[in-house]
Every structure is written in C-alpha cells, then in structure tokens.
A and B are shown apart, each in its own frame.
Chain A
C-alpha cells in the first residue's frame, strides 16, 4: 500500500515553501523502504479521504477564506481525519483550523473549520523572525523546535486543545507563552514552511502517530548529518541575536 501525503491547496496555502514539509515526510518514508507518494490537491479537486498525513500551509488572508469554503464543501479532509489520518497545519493553516479568525484591514471575523478549540484575533504587532520552542513529546522526552514565523494573528487555546511547545525565543500563539496546538488528529504550529526539514524529530513523530508504529532512525547518515548541522546553525543564531526580525538570518 502506498501512503498518501496530501498537500491541501498549495496555490492558496503554500506561499512559504510549505510543500517542503510534504517532501520531507514522503522521502523519510521512502528512504526507510515504506511506499509513499506526494499528492497535491487544488480547490475543486476532491481531497482524498484515505490520506496518511494532510498538510495546510501559510497563506494570505483572503486565501484562508477561500480554503475554508472549499474544504467545507468538499468534506474529504474531515472524512480523512475521521478515518485516522493526521493533519499538520502551520501558520494560516493553523488559524483556519480553529473556530474563528480575523482577516483584512477591518478585522472581519470568519468561521474556521472548527477542528481545533482555538480562536485567532489580530495581535498588537506582527510576529516576524526566527522562533525557538521546546517541545515535550508524549513519552516525556524533550526536543527543541526551530523555525521561522510570520503572522499577524494571535491564537487563544480553549480547554479541548493542548499547546504543542513552550516558546523560548519568539512569539508563537502570542497569548500563553506557547506555540501551536494539539487536539485529536490535528497537530498545529506557527512556524511556517520548512519546519520539518529543520525538525526531523517532529516529522518522524507525525509519521509514527499516523502509522501507529515506531520508526527506526533514518538510514541516511549524510542526510542526518545535514539536519544536525542546520539545526545547530539555526539554534545558535536565534539564541545569539537581539533583533529577531532583522538579524535572525
């Protein structure tokens, strides 16, 4: 059986290289000898309801609304999650999973998919720059998540959602000192785009959760070494910089 990694609406929610997360998930399965394919779905096409992992990425305000509308009409994502698929949503994708979010110059409130018990409203200033968070995995082990955030909305979690990771440097949810949320089949975070290339443990966690098995370390020492080096570089830079938005590079 070939596992489907489904990029949902790249043209609307993929402006930050978010497809990269899907490439990482597919390759990490294939390199372990597990069949996987990358599926790109655009509005109007049916979202397959047998996806292993679905991905929602970053996008502009009005694209979020178009995406919610198309997903509600299609319902394939909802069926896929009911069937045990996992959704990994970042940035605008995270926001639209909540009950509601604001867009536009006048902060109009729009309903989201309601998959997460969270609400997003415009924050007092835009969060732009490298972000570093500490993530505690379900087995109690800890790991740092490094990424780049760029969002105007701040997100408040309700009682059904659990925060994903504690913010060390950066803004994240903006209200509670945490970044992201977990609830049922949904894992969400603010750092957009290539968060998984920088955090292979998070990538493997998503895969293990969706597959329901424990995965061995990736049998590619060259790639593992590149991941380690990139992580070391980014973590060093975010720790040693004062002006995040201007200098975290």
Chain B
C-alpha cells in the first residue's frame, strides 16, 4: 500500500503526469463507450458531425445505460477508466525515466485497459464487444449487466497498479 501511495505521490506531485492521467482516463472512458456502440455513433455522426450534437448523443447513451443497467455499471466503467489512466501514466513515467518497457505491471496494465473495453455496455440490443468472446446478446445476458467484467478489469488494473508502483519504488524513482 505504501508503495502505491509513494508511486501515486510522484504522479500527483507532477502536474504534467497528473494531467496526463486525467486525459488518459477521460479518453478511455470515452473509448469504452464508443467501441461498444460504434454503429450508433457512426449513424449519429452521419446525421451531424457537430460536436455538441455528438456529445448529446454520448451523454444520452451514458445516462440511458445508467438507467437500464444501474449507475453502478457506469461508475465501475469510470473507475476502470481512472485506473487505466493512472496505470498508463505510471507506465509512461517509468518508460520515460528508465527507457525500458518491461514487467508484468505494463502487460497487466494493457490487459486491464483492454479488458475495460469489454465492460462498457451499449445502448442497443446487439452483439457488443462481448460477442467477440463468442457470447451473443451483449452484456444483457450477464446477471449484473456487465458489472462482472468491470470488477474483473478493476482487479487486474489494481494488481497492475501495485506492480507498477512496486517497480517504481525498487528502481528508486519514487
């Protein structure tokens, strides 16, 4: 825990990395919804390319998923995005300082970040990303509407965060 706190401390002390983590988290949150409902956004973009309109479609999608699957699902996806953002920022920090991309932390971070993409739901009954695993019906068939995958991604990303912090401490970067 101390190692994680120490790693987070250097992240939060440095405004550039903090900003990077926030941007990455926001982008991941956006991507998690976009990739799961690309046909919806594609058709919306064909109607109008205006950003306020697309933002409205995005916000509508998030709020509808929250209403149908529960706010916990959206919060879990948000948490996955935040953890993914911190993980990626820590990976960049470590790679930048050591010039080495290495370790299970980086790999787990990537796996967790990819896994997070499976967790977001879509606002249409179709085969979402989950169908790629051979499961039809998207997240609707899961008892908790995909919350299960979010929790799994959170566990993977937390472990990744631990290993990333540990290696930063061991490398004397904290």
A and B found bound together: no
Binding site for A on B (CB under 8 A): none
